[in-house]
Homo-oligomer: A and B are copies of this chain.
Amino acid sequence: MALIVQKYGGTSVANPERIKSLAARVARYKALGHQIVVVVSAMSGETNRLISLAKEIMPDPDPRELDVMVSTGEQVTIGMTALALMELGIKAKSYTGTQVKILTDNAHTKARILSIDEHNIKQDLDDGYVVVVAGFQGVDANGNITTLGRGGSDTTGVALAAALKADECQIYTDVDGVYTTDPRVVPEARRLNKITFEEMLELASQGSKVLQIRSVEFAGKYKVKLRVLSSFEEEGDGTLITFEEENTMEQPVISGIAFNRDEAKITVLGVPDKPGIAYQILGPIAEANVDVDMIIQNTGADGTTDFTFTVHKNEMNKALSILRDKVQGHIGAREISGDDKIAKVSIVGVGMRSHVGIASQMFRTLAEEGINIQMISTSEIKIAVVVDEKYLELAVRVLHKAFELEAA
């Protein structure tokens, strides 16, 4: 008997029929003697409908009230899912984030989970219930309803798996696993049977849409065994995200290619090169709760430095205003500019650790296609470059071929 957390996304709960087939799948696991916690998202389209409703009233809706509205999407789904299980003769009980309680900070619309009270769920599981929990939502210390931001249901699933010490957290998605890259861009993309946690983290943070990054971080932190599966197929083992790297010669150098169209680049030019510049530029950005991804600083010969970083496209204008209003005069920067016509392409693989020349192979491949590289950022197992948005698909295709990912 295992304790399994299963997370089902929007298309898995798109309508009553889909919810019934989800319940049938849960019933099969239950019949094997497992204890099951089901985490569900809102029905597909529901979150957007609720956001539109809010924006009809207030174009830039107050985040606390937006969370009150948006969280109802999952609340409807948990009720429906519990009913579908009962209809199959299975004892089931739903929980909202408040009811669990999934305690978060108070950063409405992108709250972070602080703790989970697993007591009642454990009791219900021991009493033979399938427990259905609303993904994506929590409650702050003052009882305000919070949401975790888009994709937050994955995080809920993993966090619950961690709190309950579950044997496995299964993430059911529209795809049957993690691929070497997006098959819509490269038809030869191949499903990976296994991927290491670190690689998955890089792929997720670099824009792979399969799993939300925070869920992968949680899984890593609490060593939750994570499996990505298709909610449309009955068979298949999906992709297992492991914590051990296999010590084999066969380990491919590169596991996958991720890309991201959602970022914009902000450049601060001609800043006097003094200690504390990075903090003076990024401090006000962080205070405004704008997430920064890549950061690059180049010191020129004239005693000034250029500072470049990327943010989500939606937040470029906000970041630019902050810099122009609060920072530019203060630090004496010559110019501040933004560019949202960029894309980021990353190659990821633990094999990089034991291979040299990967970066130069990547840069050569792009150069041969005449693709100019605007920014470079590396980690031990990742090389990310920013290029003109129009070259994105081309860059992904040539890199997929250059690193022989279709054949691996």
Output the nearest chain B residue to A144 by Cβ-Cβ distance: B99
Which chain B residues lie closer than 8 Å to A68 at the CB level?
75, 78-79, 82, 94, 96
A84 at the binding interface (Cβ < 8 Å): yes
Docked complex: A72-128 residues within 8 A CB-CB of B? 72, 75-76, 78-80, 82-84, 86-87, 93-94, 96, 98-99
Interface-side segment among A52-60, A291-299, A369-377: A52-60
A7 at the binding interface (Cβ < 8 Å): no
Instruction: Name the residue among A20, A66, A83 with the largest chain B CB count within 10 angstroms.
Output: A83
**How many copies of the chain does the oligomer comprise?**
2
Assess whether B53 is in contact with A80, with CB atoms less than 8 Å apart. Answer: yes
Docked complex: A1-38 residues within 8 A CB-CB of B? 16, 19-20
A143 at the binding interface (Cβ < 8 Å): yes
Output the nearest chain B residue to A134 by Cβ-Cβ distance: B68
Q: Once bound together, how far apart are the Cα atoms of A98 and B139, in whole Å? A: 12
A69 at the binding interface (Cβ < 8 Å): yes
Q: Separation in Å of the A75 CB from the closest CB of chain B?
A: 5
A61 at the binding interface (Cβ < 8 Å): yes
Instruction: Name the residue among A57, A58, A86, A96 with the largest chain B CB count within 10 angstroms.
Output: A57
Assess whether A58 is in contact with B75, with CB atoms less than 8 Å apart. Answer: no
A62 at the binding interface (Cβ < 8 Å): yes
Q: Once bound together, how far apart are the Cα atoms of A68 and B84, in whole Å? A: 14
24 inter-chain pairs at a CB distance below 8 angstroms, sorted by A residue, are A19-B57, A20-B57, A50-B76, A53-B76, A53-B80, A57-B83, A58-B83, A58-B84, A58-B87, A64-B94, A65-B80, A65-B82, A65-B83, A65-B86, A65-B94, A68-B75, A68-B96, A69-B76, A69-B79, A69-B80, A71-B75, A72-B72, A96-B145, A99-B143
